[in-house]
Structure 1
């Protein structure tokens, strides 16, 4: 089944060499550099390490105009449904989300986000004007072809309204990274 999904994904018109050649942010964005990194802790427990990969000219104040990748390296087991639900809660904190959008986006994320364990990594690729593409351990998971979804989703980490301002500062290179 997974193989059929990969074959189907690589035949989509937007897929091109991106899906076939993914091997981390360097292959997704050949001219990118890691801008910053941070560790998310919840009640003292390490949840994941995040890295933000950007191309030259990236402007965090207008991140929706730029192609970039956010890579999350998980440090514990989490259920995909819980990741999706928490993501939606955080998305609502950075901008308005209608009930119709919330239902659509939650459904898409529940389908996309798998259960993860220590050592897994999910990479989200922001594609301006198109939406977001996701990868698990360098294998394609799928996409949400909605620019507004992408703006809210990546806003979890990059919006000035984030619930984790210290993490944002570290990701955009304005503060020291994970310890």
Structure 2
């Protein structure tokens, strides 16, 4: 009688273990399949500390700088953009820095067209061909397409140090030395193709814009 009871107990334990194992195996497949269908959480692209600091510095400059002047660029029946010139005290003196040239676009313009127009202005000013080629290569890899309301700004700390910002965010670490003078000359040179816009930017003529 004792042996028979012991055998019954053993069989009961074995049956229980078997049923539990079978249940686990039955659930394992669906769990693995469900896990495979859940994508991992993407890692957010957070700006680096350096970029964040540069962005904050630019925002602070725009907020604290004073406007020298502003004007609009007209092309036939279209107003392409509004440009503003900013300095710490609201006065422009050639060769003194820092300063910001801020351009707000009123039209959608592809980057290729922006670059083409820039090269046209440099040719008008008689800029050295080698420098034109150097700046063309740099800008073609940098400038984005713009849409209505976008802002493209150049902050100039010195003739050697300048940086573009797109809607307040830095586009690169820094532009090559010498670039800023050539770029600003498009608007501020005595030989600019847009003398009326130059007068507006320098605060000589007011613009209701």
**Matched positions, count:** 164
More strand by share: 1
TM-score under structure 2 length normalisation: 0.70
Long gaps (5+) in structure 2? 1-44
1:89 partnered with 2:120: yes
The Cα RMSD (Å) is: 2.3
1:136 aligns with 166
Q: C-alpha offsets along residues 1-45 of structure 1, whole Å, 9 cap, x if unaligned?
A: xx58x53xx54xxx793x130564xx1256420111101010120
Q: Distance in 1 between matches of 2:160 and 2:57?
A: 18
Tell me, yes or no, if the aligned pair for 1:80 and 1:116 is still in contact at 8 Å: yes
1:74 aligns with 105
Match of 1:108 among 138, 142, 164: 138
Tell me, yes or no, if the aligned pair for 1:51 and 1:72 is still in contact at 8 Å: yes
1:172 partnered with 2:202: yes
Structure number with greater Rg is 2
TM-score under structure 1 length normalisation: 0.81
Note closer, same or farther for the CA distance 1:57–1:35 as it changes in structure 2 (3 Å cut).
closer
Larger relative contact order, structure 1 or 2 (CA cutoff 8 Å, min sep 6): 1
Moved over 6 A (4+): none
Tell me, yes or no, if the aligned pair for 1:54 and 1:69 is still in contact at 8 Å: yes
Long gaps (5+) in structure 1? none
